[in-house]
Structure 1
Amino acid sequence: MKHAIQGVHCAAATPVTADGKPNLPLYVDHCRKLMDEGCHGIAMLGTTGEANSFGLHDRMALLDGTIEGGLAAEVLLPGTSAPSVADTVELTRHAVRAGVKGVVLLPPYYYKGVSDEGLYRFYSRVIEGVGQDFRMVFYHIPQVTQIPISHDLIERLMQAFPGIVVGIKDSSGDLDNMKAMCDRFPDLGVLAGADPLMLPVLKMGGAGCITATSNLRSDALRVVWEGWNDPAKSDEVAAAQDRINAWRTLSNKYVQLPTVKAMLARSRGDTGWLMPQPPLVELAEAERAEIWAEMEQLGG
């Protein structure tokens, strides 16, 4: 195995109850199906999972309940980010003690224009505060956080904490940035944050993906993962990539996260998926009907 964390990981959506709590039975069922459909792991409580719209207690309870529901901790890759060191340490320590594969950490996203020195101090205090070895994946999504994770910062933290900083999810869409990281940090698992980019990232020496459309088409992503480097499977991989791209395009027709949830309501046959957490709102009925009709045309 080239990278500590690699493969197809689903940025799992989180169903919610009427009172805004995670719907644990529906979530566990979804995660089990994702593993059966081809995922190597579940990147729970990220952007698609609406992590930052839940309180710390709900986030920790969802992780505990998922493990108690039968998912192996070793396949879980939870987001444990918060704007403060203290909350990030609490979430991360809880996840590490539960035995997870690793954690995904955003930069502290409230204050803008912060320096690499400030980010280094934040991540260092989190790592030291957890107080035991674990695997950490950076989460680079500057269009949302407005705080990029620089290559110099990555290098400094990898040198200071060898074996802990093992990967980065790059949701910037910038393939040049991903290639530069693959070239500069061959031991860092670069994970594409957008479904259409996993194939080119693998060809650059990357480690796989953490993506939203894998909620819907993890089977096709697994085909790409298994066959990307096999000339005999090039037609099969190309067909799978076309399918991934079509579903990704449909999921972006309206606001992505409520659209993904509407698509899950259709594919899983459960309207409990429809509602996002505030401030996001569900699709209008006409929008949902349009998405469902297009899903049928795509064969799902």
Structure 2
Amino acid sequence: MTGKADMSGIVCAAVTPVDANYQIDVDLLARHCQRVMAAGCRYVSVFGTTGEGASFSSAQKIAALDGLIRAGVPADRLIPAIMTPVLSEAADMLGAIERAGCRAALVLPPFFYSAPGDAGIVAFFEALLARAGSTGLDLLLYNIPQFSRIAYTPSLISALLARFGARIAGVKDSTGDLQNGLALIEAFPELAIFTGDDRVMPPLRLKGGAGMIGGMPNLFAADAVQVLAAPDGADTATLRAYAARRIEAVDGNGGLPVIKAMLARETGEPGWTRAVPPLGSLPEAVETRVLAALAETGYAPDTAA
């Protein structure tokens, strides 16, 4: 653990390329991780929501994590997600993340049972750490109740801090609600509070937020880094306006498949267009519509570096 000071910045929630058999394309993912880090992302979070983390087994993700590191992606710049309600799979993933020397783990609450209560979630973490043999890795709490149905509420965060102390390093708040993020900053000044939303990031940063862990840096990493450095600066006003329009165009037309389609255009790698069922590829008509909307924000994927 290295503390809140270095737990900040733009973190790309990386999409995951797959082959025709829906296996993780580690080489393509490694090149993408290097690309977004070169564009200024401090860390990369693999196998989260944007990375289709719930569509892969822990064994698949552990093998891919090992492959990324062997391909030269620095382990200490990776924040893999744990996206399973299965205790044994979650523990296997956490153990692998810690042994690899990753910066932290992003932990989704166990999402099948809708009302386990704070005590139940604390018990899950207790068993998770014990079974994984985890002793020192920082944990980020992944708050996305629109998917998990369980929120990391202030009372739950307080209970986790009381039990696990500094092991709880921060929160990724993917509610898209600025007031929720601001309330977390006020209640937990010792934690790194990230948003998952480009539109929330500037005002959250001005109040002490850590930055963003989000999907849009897959396409716009350098712009997000500029905005983080000057969240209310005159020189980033256009970028802030573009960010809002871009996320509306992407999320309003399917989200993840849009990002993958744009990456296929940017890189010339058609494999990016695949997603694991039940997700699918972006229809051509939708891609045309998105391209037109993004072009109005200066985006030209066919000529992107």
Q: Same fold (TM over 0.5)?
A: yes
1:2 Cα deviation (Å)? 4.8
Number of the residue aligned with 2:10: 8
**Secondary structure, aligned partner of 1:161:** helix
1:76 corresponds to: 78
> Which amino acid is 1:282 matched to?
S
Counterpart in the other structure of 2:95:
93
Q: Distance in 2 between matches of 1:86 and 1:270?
A: 35
Give, in whole Å, the separation in 1 of the partners of 2:202 and 2:129. Answer: 32
Alpha-carbon distance in structure 2 between the residues aligned to 1:254 and 1:228: 27
For the 8 Å contact 1:217–1:247, the answer to whether it is kept is: no
CA RMSD of aligned residues (A): 1.5
SS across alignment from 2:182: helix
Question: Which TM-score applies when normalising by structure 2?
Answer: 0.93
| 1:253 matched residue in structure 2 | 252
User: Which amino acid is the alignment partner of residue 150 of structure 2?
Assistant: I
- The residue number in structure 2 matching 1:178 is 181
Matched, 1:24 2:26: yes
**1:80-120 CA distance string (max 9 Å, x none):** 23112221111001010000000000000011122111111
Unpaired stretches in structure 1, ≥5 consecutive residues: none
**Distance between the aligned counterparts of 1:138 and 1:68, measured in 2?**
27
**Paired AA for residue 119 in structure 1:** I
Select which of 176, 191, 196 maps to 2:194: 191
Note the C-alpha offset of 1:4: 4.7
Deviation at 1:245, TM superposition (A): 1.8
Code of the residue aligned with 2:252 in structure 1: it is: K
1:20 maps to amino acid: Y
Q: Which residue is 1:33 aligned to?
A: 35
Alpha-carbon distance between aligned partners in 1 of 2:212 and 2:4, rounded to the nearest angstrom:
15
Residue identity opposite 2:103 in structure 1: K
Moved more, 85-94 or 265-274: 265-274
Amino acid at match of 2:248: T
1:87–1:2: structure 2 CA closer, same or farther, 3 Å change rule? Answer: closer
One-letter code aligned to 1:120: V
Q: How many Å separate the matches in 1 of 2:61 and 2:162? A: 31
1:76 maps to a residue whose letter is L
CA contact (8 A) 1:137 1:165 kept: yes
Moved over 6 A (4+): none
Letter in 1 for 2:45: A
Q: Which amino acid counterpart does residue 271 of structure 1 have in structure 2?
A: P
Structure 1 Cα separation of the partners of residues 60 and 4 of structure 2: 34
Aligned to 2:124: 122
Equivalence for 2:57: 55
Match status 1:147 vs 2:150: yes
- SS of 2:82's equivalent? coil
What amino acid is aligned across from residue 117 of structure 1 in structure 2?
A
